[in-house]
Amino acid sequence: MLKILIIEDNEQNLYMFKFLLEKNGFQVVTSANGGGGIKAANEEKPDLIVLDIQLPDISGYEVAKKLKANTKTAHIPIIAITSYAYPDDRKKAQEAGCNGYIPKPIDPNAFIDEIRRFIK
């Protein structure tokens, strides 16, 4: 079973993402902040990370940079998920190391399709 780490501080969003992923056969681990997400990525070794950009402790951009700079986690695909929907935001996410980008509010079907695109 493929494992996905969700780093998201909003409880409703976290619940929805977790529900959709588990319903589609993924194992899910979660973190409500960036520091915990970095720790979870190192310990859980997920196949993919869904990363909110607006987090309470450090930004998702910084989380992505730290994960990509670490040899233990650099290979893990990261999908940024954010309510930031300006054209520059997608570019900023890519520059930070994110492999994909999903704007909020999400379309549940498109969300799962985007996840599958990055899981081998």
- pLDDT over 70 at 84, yes or no: no
The confidence score (pLDDT) of residue 90 equals: 85
**How much is the average pLDDT of 10-22?**
96
Task: Provide the number of structural domains found in the chain.
Answer: 1
In DSSP notation, the chain reads --EEEEE---HHHHHHHHHHHHHTT-EEEEESSHHHHHHHHHHH--SEEEEES--SSS-HHHHHHHHHHSTTTTTS-EEEEES--SHHHHHHHHHHT-SEEEESSPPHHHHHHHHHHH--
At 29-61, the pLDDT tens digits run 999 999 999 999 999 999 999 999 999 999 999
Looking at residue 74, its pLDDT comes to 97
Residue 24 sits in a domain of what CATH number? Answer: 3.40.50.2300
Structural domain range at position 82: 3-118
